[in-house]
Amino acid sequence: MFRFLPAALALTGLFLASGCLTESAEFRNLAAAVTDAQGQEGSDQESSRRRPGHQPLADIAAPEDTPDRTRTEAAWTLSDAFAEVARVATPGVVSLLVERESTRGSEDPRLEQFFGFPPVPSPPGAQVGRGSGAIVDPSGLVVTNNHVVDGATRIEVEFSDGRTLEAVIVGQDPPTDLAVIRLESDGEVFPHLALGNSDEVRVGDWVLAIGNPLGNSHSVTAGIVSAKGRVLQGDYQDFIQTDAAINRGNSGGPLVGLDGSLVGVNTMIQVAGTPGNIGLGFAIPSNLVRRVYDDLASEGQVTRGWLGVAVVPLDAQRALAFGLEADARGAQIDDFSGPDSPAAAAGLERGDVIVRFNGRPIEDSMDLQFAVADARPEEPSTVQVLRDGVEVSVDVVLGQRDFRQAAPLAEAAPPEPERPVESTGRLGIVGETLQGALAQQFQADFEGVLVRQVVPGGIAHQAGIEPGHVITRVGGRPVRTAGDLRDALSGIAGGEPLPIQIARQVAAGEWRRNFVIVEAPE
């Protein structure tokens, strides 16, 4: 077995073992000399490893081979543009520190809804959140997200120079997730951002997101407009999609164009798996902000018209089924919200296709939603519809939509079915006439054919008709009995698109109607 020992100890062992030397003064001097020499050699090596020779950085010449500026000029120009926009816009952006009261075990769903973080129980007492905002009025009015300030007991605003002020809520609009707050100051004039025209923003345009991500105040990220007109959840959505990095704390901050104007209010991101930015950010367009801002700043809430209809997209099959051209556009009335619906009271009918509202062209349900929202309640509006292929003008007085009242979401289970007594083989259902005691049992104040059974794979099954639905119209013919249904089907050529109106029960005594499009049976 070999062992490595320090040289001085090996020498001592050798001399003592051989008897050549005794442990005299001469021996000790020799051993000490060897040890000193070895120690000096190790010290020099260690010093060499720790302190290599070097030149001061200031004395080192730059490499001769550097990028050709003529080939990178475009990138330098873009970099200069980003820096200039950030310089101009950043003073008009504020970071928000928001305090709200929480109860033991309460969870904040905003984290999951807007940024993909699962809600976690919070301790009782003050809960602190962060967000961003954009000053849009030099007197100190700030636009931000409603989910940032909702329920706030205190709002502290930080400017780009580190100064702080308190702020108070002026108005909130949950449907658009927008809010306006006011900086508390004594007549100070603040730097602000102009609202740009989001309709003019193009897919591919460069934009900057400025905000307070994860508490990193006044951070600037760059990206492009990835898409427009995104609808993710809820009403009144027309998001601008961007790949500029947006994270928790960016909510309420501006999406800025290269002209320095606010073209969007950053609101949420989409995530996949791990929460955090993956290049899918969404901002409320500035033109929607403009429509909401004035009401919030002056009234504290947004007053919207209410037509009281449920509408469906008009695709080619549905258009042909209702006797229209395949490329017809509009929003088709599928049902009314109830007997007090302004649309029903004005004489609009299920199946009508709304093509203009107060002169504004309507190509889809979103167009109609914004057109109605912009109209004032209790004032007459003019609606142009296509009915049986003919354009009809109807005057309607809008109601006011109350967002605090939610529509019923759960469907009520229908009573136990009785023995079917009628059948319509062409459609693939078994049903019976809904009238008398049966209508009372189902709390239905209308007539039709109650669907008892649906043949798997049949035409009705493919169209989504289910047991418990009630057929009330086929094509342009009302259906009150099973005989009416058979007669209506017998007069239609096979293979043609056929609209069938059905009613479905959503709560006790409450029914919703809509059209389904089927291919007329042979």
* C-alpha span between 12 and 391 (Å, rounded): 118
* C-alpha span between 194 and 262 (Å, rounded): 6
Give the C-alpha distances (Å, rounded to integers) separating 464 from 351, 461, 495, 500: 18, 5, 18, 11
**234 burial class (0-12, 13-18, 19+ CB within 10 angstroms)?**
exposed
Record the tokens describing residue 313, joined without a space.
């997209």
* C-alpha span between 277 and 114 (Å, rounded): 11
Record the tokens describing residue 506, joined without a space.
């959503």
* DSSP H helical ranges for 116-190: 146-149
Record the tokens describing residue 264, joined without a space.
């969007």
| Cα 3 to the center of its chain, rounded Å | 71
Q: Which residues, 6+ apart, have CB-to-CB distance to 44 below 8 Å?
A: none
Angle of the 7-18 helix axis to the 25-50 helix axis, nearest 10: 160
Is 147 part of the annotated catalytic residue set? yes
Record the tokens describing residue 111, joined without a space.
């984290």
Is 251 part of the annotated catalytic residue set? yes
| SS3 state at 444 | coil
Record the tokens describing residue 232, joined without a space.
């993710």
Give the C-alpha distances (Å, rounded to integers) separating 3 from 6, 7, 35, 270, 445: 10, 12, 19, 64, 104
Give the C-alpha distances (Å, rounded to integers) separating 253 from 233, 351, 497: 20, 42, 49
* C-alpha span between 505 and 15 (Å, rounded): 109
**446 burial class (0-12, 13-18, 19+ CB within 10 angstroms)?**
middle
Instruction: Give residue for tokens 């033109």.
Output: 287
Strand duo 219-230 + 206-211: pairing = antiparallel
Is residue 485 within a helix (H) or strand (E), and if so which, with residue range?
A: helix 482-490
Query: What number of other Cβ atoms are within 10 A of residue 61's Cβ?
Result: 6
Record the tokens describing residue 252, joined without a space.
């309420």
Active-site hit among 95, 132, 226, 251: 251
Active-site hit among 108, 177, 243, 335: 177
Active-site hit among 95, 147, 226, 484: 147
| SS3 state at 84 | helix
* C-alpha span between 400 and 306 (Å, rounded): 5
* Residues with a known catalytic role: 147, 177, 251
